[in-house]
Structure 1
Amino acid sequence: MSRVAPLAPPWSKQDADGINRWGHPDRTYEPLLLVRCLQRHPALTAKLRALGEALYVDATLPPRLRTIAILRICALLECAYEWGGQAAFWGPIAGVSEAECDALVTGADVGWSAEERTLISAVDELEATGSWTEQTWTALGGNLTDEQRMELLIAVGWYRTICTLCNGMDLPVEGWMRPWPG
C-alpha cells in the first residue's frame, strides 16, 4: 500500500466531486489511487487538476508528442505508477504503441522519427539540466511553435511533479495499468 492512505468511501459530496473530476470522461477504471490520496488535501488537489486538465483540453501540442514526452519523463524518474497509467490509457489514444511505450523505458530502438528523437532528447536534456540549449530550442522549433514549446516545458514539469508525488507516496501500480518493462 502507499505511504499515504487514500481517502476511503463513503466520500462526502465534495470529495466525490473532486475525485471524479480527475481522468478522462470515458475512463473505465476506478478513481486513481493517486487521486484518492491527493483528495486528502482538496484545495491543493483542485489546483493541480486544473493545470493537468489544461494540458489536454486547451492543448496545442500534438497528442502523440505530448504522450511520448510524458512517458519519457515518467521513465527517467522511474515512476512505474504514472508510466503504467499513461501507457495503458493515453498510449493507445495518442497512437503510441506498447513497444514504443516500453522503449521509452528500455531505450530500445523502435524507429522513432527525427522529430520524435529530437523530442525525446529534449526531455532528457530538460531532466538533466533543467533547461534547453539554444540548439535544442531551435531543433524543436522545426516542428513546434513557441507556444507548443512552452506547453511542452509545462507538461514535462507538471508530470515531473506528478511522478515525484507518486514515487514519494510509494504508490503501487494498479491492476489495469501497464506493468513496468522488464
Structure 2
Amino acid sequence: MTTQLTPITEPYPEDVAKVLASYPQQGGYILALFRVFANSLRFLKKAVPNLLDKDSPLPLRIREIVILRVTANKNCEYEWGVHVSAFGSHAKLTDAQIAATRSDQVDDAIWSPAEACLLRAVDNLCASGKMDNSISEQFARDWSKEQQLEIFALCGTYHTISFVANAARLPNEPFGARFP
C-alpha cells in the first residue's frame, strides 16, 4: 500500500463524486489537486474553504496577488501556474508583476503602495507567521478588518494547498504557467 498522496481516478465513490461536482471544472476536467484532496472526504469537504467566491471582501486582483505570492514563497509551481493561467489576465496583472511574485524583493516601481505593502506582509506571514510593526501599521491602514482576515485566511489556505501539491509532487497542469 502506497502512502504517497496521488490524485484519485474515476470511478469515484458516490460521496466523493458528489463533493467533487461542486469544485470548479473545465469541460468536466477536475484538477489533479482536487483529486488529491479526495483521498479524504473530510479534507475534500472541510479543510480548504473556497475563498474565491463572489462574496469575498477582496477584489480579484488582491486575492490573486496574495495567492501568487504565497505559492511562490512555498515554491509551489503547480498552484502558482494554475492561478497565473486561470486568473492572471482577469486580475489585470502584467507579465512583470506576475514574474515579480517570484522575486525575493518587492519592486515598488511596479506595484501600488498598498500592493507593495501587501506583498511584504505576505512575505512576513510566510516566513514567521507575523508582520513587522512597520508593515503591520500600513497593512491596517490599507485594508479593512474584514479584508485583513480574508488575507490571513488566503495565506493559510494556500500554505495548505502548497503543502499538498508539493507533497503529492503534482506535475504542472498542461495549461499551467511555469515559474520564470
Common fold by TM > 0.5: yes
Match of 1:20 in 2: 21
Q: Is residue 2:97 matched to residue 1:100? A: yes
**Unaligned residue ranges in structure 2 (runs of 5+):** none
**1 CA distance for matches of 2:75 and 2:176?**
15
**2 CA distance for matches of 1:28 and 1:60?**
29
TM-score by structure 2 length?
0.87
Match of 1:138 in 2: 137
User: Amino acid of the residue matched to residue 78 of structure 2?
Assistant: Y
Tell me the secondary structure at the aligned position of residue 110 of structure 2: coil
User: Amino acid of the residue matched to residue 58 of structure 1?
Assistant: D
Q: Is residue 2:78 matched to residue 1:81? A: yes
Tell me the secondary structure at the aligned position of residue 72 of structure 1: helix
Match of 1:61 in 2: 58
**Unaligned residue ranges in structure 1 (runs of 5+):** none
Identity %: 29
Structure 1 residues 54 and 79, CA gap change in structure 2 (3 angstroms): closer
User: Amino acid of the residue matched to residue 56 of structure 2?
Assistant: A
Deviation at 1:39, TM superposition (A): 0.7
Q: Is residue 2:71 matched to residue 1:71? A: no
Find the partner of 1:90 among 87, 103, 117: 87
Moved over 6 A (4+): none
User: Amino acid of the residue matched to residue 153 of structure 2?
Assistant: I
Structure 1 residues 15 and 98, CA gap change in structure 2 (3 angstroms): farther
**2 CA distance for matches of 1:28 and 1:107?**
37
**1 CA distance for matches of 2:9 and 2:29?**
13
* RMSD over equivalenced CA pairs, Å: 2.0
Deviation at 1:29, TM superposition (A): 7.2
The count of residues paired between Structure 1 and Structure 2 equals 175
Q: Mean Cα displacement is larger for which, 170-179 or 110-119?
A: 110-119
Which structure features the higher share of helix residues? 1
